[in-house]
Amino acid sequence: MSATSHEDPRSGGGSALDSATVAWTAFAFTATLLVILLLWVLLGTPGAGPADEVAEAPDEEPAADDDEAADDEAADDGEAEETVEFVADDNFYEDLPDSVSAGTVEFVMDNQGAAEHDMVIEELGDEEVVELTPGGETASGTVELEPGEYTLYCSVPGHREAGMEATITVEG
Ligand SMILES: [Cu+2]
């Protein structure tokens, strides 16, 4: 009983003290947070400018590197001086030019037929310049051509005889 009566004022006083302490602590904590926030904003904002510039710079450099890499790949492929786009169908070629310039020539074949077709150049040891390509697909091949007359044909049995043959002049 007496212990309880002694404790009540203490715990009451203790609670009042605790409330004041909690209030002060909360104020100090909030003030500290505000100061930290203020410092973060003041220091962070000037830092954001250079940070953005630094972030943007690498974005531009890799893009330039990619372009150079693409150019290098094209160079590795021979970087055709001339591109000849033509159509293969069942069973004939269309849109093949009568002549091209000597050098590296890329042949792009659009197979609009139903059957498979390729494009071989007889004078290059029957080299298959454009691989066997299913109907509806496009394929290409690059070849080095010296001046002269060349015969292009499809190596699928029966196709050359059916009309898949063309003559092209390579001019020096
Ligand atoms: Cu063919």
* Per-10-residue mean pLDDT, the chain, length 172: 45 55 62 48 49 46 46 51 97 98 98 98 98 98 98 98 98 94
User: 155 CA distance to ligand 1 centroid (A)?
Assistant: 6
Confidence (pTM)? 0.56
Confidence (pLDDT) at 37: 39
Same domain, 101 and 42: no
E strands present in 49-126? 82-89, 92-94, 99-101, 103-111, 117-121
| d(C-alpha 169, C-alpha 123), whole Å | 12
Domain membership of residue 53 as a residue range = 1-76
Confidence (pLDDT) at 42: 47
Same domain, 132 and 157: yes
Number of compact structural domains in the chain = 2
Domain end among 23, 58, 76: 76
| d(C-alpha 169, C-alpha 145), whole Å | 10
Same domain, 87 and 167: yes
Ion ligand 1 — residues with CB under 5 Å?
117, 154, 156, 159, 164
User: 113 CA distance to ligand 1 centroid (A)?
Assistant: 9
Bridge partner residues of 171 (DSSP): 101
| d(C-alpha 134, C-alpha 148), whole Å | 30
Confidence (pLDDT) at 79: 74
Confidence (pLDDT) at 109: 98
User: 116 CA distance to ligand 1 centroid (A)?
Assistant: 6
User: 131 CA distance to ligand 1 centroid (A)?
Assistant: 11
**What residue type is assigned to position 86 of the chain?**
F
Neighbouring C-beta atoms of residue 36, cutoff 10 Å: 10
Contact 151, 121 (CB under 8 A): yes
